[in-house]
Structure 1
Amino acid sequence: MIQNGYLIFEDESFLDSTVAKMNALRKNGQFCDVRLQVCGHELMAHRAVLACCSPYLFEIFNSDIESHGVSHVTFEDLDPEAVEILLNYAYTAQLKADKELVKEVYSAAKRFKMERVKQICGDYLLSKLDSQNAISFRNFASSMGDARFLSQVDAFIQDHLLDVSEQEDFLKLPRLKLEVMLEDNLTLPSNGKLYSKVLNWVQRSLWENGDQLERLMEEVQTLYYSPDHKLVDGGLVIEGHSEVFGGEEDHLQFVQKKPVRESDQRQMSCSSSGSLSPSNQAANAPKQTARREWKYIASEKTANNNYLCLAVLDGVLCVIFLHGRNSPQTSPSATPCLMKSLSFEAQPEELEEQPLSPMHYARSGLGTAALNGKFIAAGGYNREECLRTVECYDPKEDRWTFIAPMRTPRARFQMAVLMGQLYVIGGSNGHSDELSSGEKYDPRTDEWTQVPELRTNRCNAGVCSLNNKLYVVGGSDPCGQKGLKNCDAFDPVAKTWTNCASLNIRRHQAAVCELDGFMYAIGGAESWNCLNTVERYNPENNTWTLIAPMNVARRGAAVAVHAGKLFVVGGFDGTHALRCVEMYDPARNDWKMLGSMTSSRSNAGVAMLGDTIYAVGGFDGNEFLNTVEVYNPETDEWYDCAKAPSPLSD
């Protein structure tokens, strides 16, 4: 074909033919310049081909760039068949692995940093996840340091704990048996907060008292659960002391004040066999070097005052049995037995004491939204880093689980639902002040994909969906010192950004939402001066109009829409994190103060589920929060426990 003076010919069979010939040359050892020694087996290949598909081998070859002979790379801990499968993939782009070899291929792909292969193998293993293999899969995911894989296995175990507990792998796990003495008429709460206190007690026993985990499991340990919900060492109570372990605010206090950083998850050296050997060194290790995993995974009430829990203690996957008894004079006769026929519903007196389940991570500056009846909390930051993880709350189960993490760590952003998908735009990744990137989440595939970037980097901007478009309002300038007036709209069909009318007042950290076909920008700050002003956008004439101001100036507030009114929650007034809440009635164009939250929260997230407003995370002025509370409009009250009369529409 002649085109623009050039002869153009496309040979569609050339690439396939060349690839097949190169792989044949590899197998025949022809023109090969690298030897992989894998557990006594020698595999020949071409350095350039491997460098193109394996960043790990590229680094090795690049450091040996002056070598003109044959490179030798030795692996003593990989499966030769798995490496051969990866070599075939490198030459043919076809991955063909026997199902019994998928774990070995995953391990080799992890070493070679072949992320696509690792993801494909992980997805295959997750598709085969069931009650019989859940424990072995968790041990494998833990040994690989794969946070995404691990979170999905843990979510499965949470949903199927009793079925998992009947399997042979589960029955072989180390067991910690605890007897918890109770005051008369007091019952143990069947929620994760109790086990957080138990983890604190175990940590203290290991690092402050010098005990070993094996020793703790040799006999039944006696603890005391006080009427004010503290967990106390039973021996100290009997001797007349009252030292308290695991108070309400000191979750995992003996290792770290906050949950483990996401960047540390890949470095945790968790046991893959259930052996107790890791704790031998941990008992005498300095506190600041203890970085193994401590985690509550799941629990069930199995009988009256009998509880079963699966947790990771100092990197060791363990079963914890709890038996509550009212009489300190008697002792347990046997380990509690599982009784699937019994009801696992909490009793009314327990519900009054049961806090709503907290998120796995404390987060401030997070993005939140309601999607398919669930509460989605994404990203945010704690004192040390911006987060990628995304958690999903099911109000019917009172349970948080992980969904696919975002592609980019980000905080100081807002999230909106558009055409059944979640959108996040801009924010900060903790390294640069602002991001121009955006991404969207498809709940059908559990995947995040990129969307076209903003024309300017934007942090602390408001995000809202309106008339099948996504709007980004205000935000911080590149220096982070002034608010912006900019307003941009994204068309998800055309995949293009367009400019809209500018705000009347510069704003960053404003709360933005849609109500009755209008978009509202609420409060925020011009520079660091908090605003009580509010403006409304009319898409029909592309104009912003100032409306009645709030009673309280605030930035970093959250907003929800209920029954045709706006509910603005918390924020920061320039001096303090706020508990106060106010409501805007567009028919009256006025604001009314409502009942305050149980906690002060700035840069928190809110969403409507049914007829209930949920508030999560944020910063209370001292601590980053992972707690949840709900608002009942009928009673004008906030609750942080399950006794809240929170009607949910089906």
Structure 2
Amino acid sequence: MIPNAYLIFEDESFLDSTVAKMNALRKSGQFCDVRLQVCGHELMAHRAVLACCSPYLFEIFNSDIEPHGVSHVTFEDLDPEAVEILLNYAYTAQLKADKELVKEVYSAAKRFKMERVKQICGDYLLSKMDSQNAISFRNFASSMGDVRVLAKVDAFIQDHLLEVSEQEDFLKLPRLKLEVMLEDNLTLPSNGKLYSKVLNWVQRSLWENGDHLERLMEEVQTLYYSPDHKLVDGGLVIDGHSEVFGGEEDHLQFVQKKPVRESTQRQMSCSSSGSLSPSNQAANDPKQTARREWKYIASEKTTNNTYLCLAVLDGVLCVIFLHGRNSPQTSPSSTPCLMKSLSFEAPPEELEEHPLSPMHYARSGLGTAALNGRLIAAGGYNREECLRTVECYDPKEDSWTFIAPMRTPRARFQMAVLMGQLYVIGGSNGHSDELSCGESYDPHADEWTQIPELRTNRCNAGVCSLNNKLYVVGGSDPCGQKGLKNCDAFDPVNKTWSNCASLNIRRHQAAVCELDGFMYVIGGAESWNCLNTVERYNPENNTWTLIAPMNVARRGAAVAVHAGKLFVVGGFDGSHALRCVEVYDPARNEWRMLGSMTSSRSNAGVAMLGETIYAVGGFDGNEFLNSMEMYNPETDEWNDCAQALSALSE
């Protein structure tokens, strides 16, 4: 027996038991002395527990003039579920939140000054980041003022800018288009130095000239890269505000454009969902403007004279497109000449190997269809803008010509032929949310006519004709993060929409087509996860049935029908644009792989002309494409050369 010894006992279950009992007391409202009013929801808790976990609530409780009464704390801008999750954490030290609530939990933790929870939520979001949600994550981190998370998101974007630039969130960002004129003996500096000069030019335009960021984005801005390596405003005499001097060698020299003060005094309103509002609030206050973020994030040189950049201008996340030109030629936003490209004399054996004629525009997320023996390619994105132009390919001439443009710029849509007319519906115009409007094209009148709108805005939906009706299937929800199960049918005679049975699985960016009186919906994505599942719709009993899945999960694929089979082309598997092709035989209910394309293509278009499948446009993981290639089912080969076209016609 040791004299004066202590009795030492450690109850390992006490802490867990006590914590559980205290949390049970909180949930039943017993002994609670604080009420949190969160958007109309009342949450009871114990002041001492919350004060230990939240420095923010500690400050409130510590300054309470009635410390022994029941405190009431009101929050009108927090999510009640997120606050409940934080209360559970305060009592149990366990953080458990559904992935859709993590941002709300982060926001609540920021208010409560619970730094450890903020860090855990931030790390979780970073672990889920990919090229599709990087812009959304950056906007969130910026709104939260989280420098640590923001730096990691920007580092990711720097490494994956081209992949990020193909995504919906990126394509909806405000865009500034610059055309930079160069002296013959000058070249543009490297990306980083170039865009530091661009940011300086934008700042001068806002602060010295009194411009608004919105006005700068309304049209292509012509700049001049001076011999002393500065970017200054430039223009031609025809704009009425610039002077041009001719030298002895009869070349053009650009001087600084005179600001149009009267046009910049009015307060501009943002036409694309208010994304430029930070500039609106501070445009007339240089000191306030200076405090807003100006940051170059990432850039890529996409061609010899074209640059793509993501930057923060005056607190607004923006895309900057820059073209370097040696002489003041046609603006990059103008419609190209319809004449065929000039050719040159060459021996026949060399001419045989030239590629199939490319489209005038690179297009991704375009609508394609076969009409009267020709391939129609409409709309789409080309990284600079969302297009409304429509091109027509004649395989006999291997040439593209323009037909009447659509009434609305759109991409991320599909096109179908119904009763001899083209139909397009929904999609995105690159600025606002998804579209609900649709239009039809009459090839005899060469004009587009508006049709009744969908009940809801919809992007990335599948479209096909079946039994003299136009069907619109699936698509993205208003936030663009979940697929839809909706299916709607349009009657072109009565001009009315009606509901059909819903899909079994939510889908957006699915390939859709008709075969033997059935409609097939192939692949797509449920949220961000690519699908290999396939559903078939029977209009006789208004039901959807799951059939054999594809070998490869893919979204943004295209589909063509030939010889009673479905040919699914390209797409995106979640990490890469695909070249692979597979075919479905409904008689056997099975898929098998075919020969791969010459190029990877996601969000491309396909059409069947005669016995040949044509694939056109899309995104290859690095560039938006204007090229095309064709597939010969007899040889199971893809070819992008005009020689193969000649062989097929013989």
Q: When the two structures are superposed, what TM-score results if normalisation uses the length of structure 1?
A: 0.49
Q: Deviations over 1:35-63 (max 9, x none)?
A: 99999999999999999999999999999
Name the CA shift for 1:590/1:277 in 2 (closer, same or farther; >3 Å): closer
**Whole-angstrom CA distance in 1 between matches of 2:637 and 2:179:** 37
Q: Deviations over 1:127-155 (max 9, x none)?
A: 99999999999999999999999999999
Q: Which moved more, 1:367-376 or 1:73-82?
A: 73-82
**Whole-angstrom CA distance in 2 between matches of 1:505 and 1:100:** 19
Q: Deviations over 1:597-645 (max 9, x none)?
A: 0000000000000100000000000100000100011111100111215
Shift of 1:356: 0.4
Name the CA shift for 1:621/1:18 in 2 (closer, same or farther; >3 Å): closer
8 A Cα contact 2:241 2:257, kept in partner = no
Q: Deviations over 1:390-430 (max 9, x none)?
A: 00111111111111110000000000000000000000011
What number of residue pairs does the alignment pair up?
650
Give unpaired runs (5+ residues) of structure 2: none
Q: Deviations over 1:351-405 (max 9, x none)?
A: 4311101001001000000000110000001223211110011111111111111
Name the CA shift for 1:116/1:628 in 2 (closer, same or farther; >3 Å): farther
Shift of 1:183: 33
**Whole-angstrom CA distance in 1 between matches of 2:249 and 2:3:** 73
8 A Cα contact 1:142 1:270, kept in partner = no
8 A Cα contact 2:357 2:400, kept in partner = yes
8 A Cα contact 2:524 2:555, kept in partner = yes
Q: Deviations over 1:55-109 (max 9, x none)?
A: 9999999999999999999999999999999999999999999999999999999
Q: Deviations over 1:10-53 (max 9, x none)?
A: 99999999999999999999999999999999999999999999
**Whole-angstrom CA distance in 1 between matches of 2:600 and 2:453:** 34
Q: Deviating runs (4+, > 6 A) in structure 1?
A: 1-347, 646-650
**Whole-angstrom CA distance in 2 between matches of 1:574 and 1:597:** 19
Q: Secondary structure at the match of 1:645?
A: helix
Structure 1 residue aligned with 2:367: 367
Name the CA shift for 1:120/1:180 in 2 (closer, same or farther; >3 Å): same
**Whole-angstrom CA distance in 2 between matches of 1:8 and 1:608:** 84
Name the CA shift for 1:293/1:267 in 2 (closer, same or farther; >3 Å): farther
Name the CA shift for 1:222/1:474 in 2 (closer, same or farther; >3 Å): closer
Q: Deviations over 1:152-208 (max 9, x none)?
A: 999999999999999999999999999999999999999999999999999999999
Name the CA shift for 1:426/1:5 in 2 (closer, same or farther; >3 Å): farther
**Whole-angstrom CA distance in 1 between matches of 2:496 and 2:3:** 32
Name the CA shift for 1:430/1:29 in 2 (closer, same or farther; >3 Å): same
8 A Cα contact 1:139 1:273, kept in partner = no
Structure 1 residue aligned with 2:507: 507
Q: When the two structures are superposed, what TM-score results if normalisation uses the length of structure 2?
A: 0.49
Name the CA shift for 1:108/1:483 in 2 (closer, same or farther; >3 Å): closer
Q: Which moved more, 1:3-12 or 1:313-322?
A: 3-12
Shift of 1:592: 0.6
Name the CA shift for 1:304/1:569 in 2 (closer, same or farther; >3 Å): closer
**Whole-angstrom CA distance in 2 between matches of 1:35 and 1:372:** 70
Q: Deviations over 1:459-501 (max 9, x none)?
A: 0000000000000000001111100000000000000000000
8 A Cα contact 2:525 2:555, kept in partner = yes
8 A Cα contact 1:389 1:405, kept in partner = yes
Q: Which moved more, 1:53-62 or 1:199-208?
A: 53-62
**Whole-angstrom CA distance in 1 between matches of 2:505 and 2:220:** 65
Name the CA shift for 1:152/1:79 in 2 (closer, same or farther; >3 Å): same
Q: Which moved more, 1:120-129 or 1:14-23?
A: 14-23
Name the CA shift for 1:249/1:12 in 2 (closer, same or farther; >3 Å): farther
Structure (1 or 2) with the larger CA radius of gyration: 2
Q: Which moved more, 1:136-145 or 1:496-505?
A: 136-145
Name the CA shift for 1:138/1:129 in 2 (closer, same or farther; >3 Å): same
Q: Which moved more, 1:43-52 or 1:231-240?
A: 43-52
Q: Which moved more, 1:251-260 or 1:329-338?
A: 329-338
Q: Secondary structure at the match of 2:196?
A: helix
CA root-mean-square deviation: 21.2
Shift of 1:433: 2.2
Name the CA shift for 1:270/1:18 in 2 (closer, same or farther; >3 Å): farther
Shift of 1:594: 0.3
8 A Cα contact 1:269 1:292, kept in partner = no
Shift of 1:349: 1.3
Name the CA shift for 1:313/1:590 in 2 (closer, same or farther; >3 Å): same
Name the CA shift for 1:306/1:140 in 2 (closer, same or farther; >3 Å): same
Name the CA shift for 1:503/1:238 in 2 (closer, same or farther; >3 Å): closer
Q: Which moved more, 1:93-102 or 1:605-614?
A: 93-102
**Whole-angstrom CA distance in 1 between matches of 2:486 and 2:535:** 14
Shift of 1:432: 1.6
Q: Percent of aligned pairs with the same residue?
A: 93
Q: Secondary structure at the match of 1:472?
A: strand
Name the CA shift for 1:221/1:131 in 2 (closer, same or farther; >3 Å): same
Name the CA shift for 1:132/1:536 in 2 (closer, same or farther; >3 Å): closer
Q: Which moved more, 1:409-418 or 1:639-648?
A: 639-648
Q: Deviations over 1:532-586 (max 9, x none)?
A: 0000000001000000000000000000000110000000000000000000000
**Whole-angstrom CA distance in 2 between matches of 1:453 and 1:264:** 36
8 A Cα contact 2:54 2:113, kept in partner = yes
8 A Cα contact 1:525 1:531, kept in partner = yes
Q: Secondary structure at the match of 1:599?
A: coil
What pairs up with 1:67-106 in 2 under 5 angstroms? none
Name the CA shift for 1:178/1:446 in 2 (closer, same or farther; >3 Å): closer
**Whole-angstrom CA distance in 1 between matches of 2:383 and 2:333:** 46
**Whole-angstrom CA distance in 1 between matches of 2:73 and 2:154:** 36
Q: Secondary structure at the match of 1:405?
A: coil
8 A Cα contact 2:283 2:289, kept in partner = no
Q: Which moved more, 1:446-455 or 1:80-89?
A: 80-89
**Whole-angstrom CA distance in 1 between matches of 2:390 and 2:4:** 52
Name the CA shift for 1:271/1:601 in 2 (closer, same or farther; >3 Å): closer
**Whole-angstrom CA distance in 2 between matches of 1:110 and 1:256:** 47
**Whole-angstrom CA distance in 2 between matches of 1:117 and 1:131:** 25
**Whole-angstrom CA distance in 2 between matches of 1:417 and 1:52:** 66
8 A Cα contact 2:171 2:430, kept in partner = no
Give unpaired runs (5+ residues) of structure 1: none
8 A Cα contact 2:224 2:254, kept in partner = no
Name the CA shift for 1:604/1:61 in 2 (closer, same or farther; >3 Å): farther
Name the CA shift for 1:135/1:16 in 2 (closer, same or farther; >3 Å): same
8 A Cα contact 1:200 1:251, kept in partner = no
Name the CA shift for 1:573/1:94 in 2 (closer, same or farther; >3 Å): closer
Q: Which moved more, 1:587-596 or 1:29-38?
A: 29-38
Structure 1 residue aligned with 2:462: 462
Shift of 1:326: 30
Q: Secondary structure at the match of 2:48?
A: helix
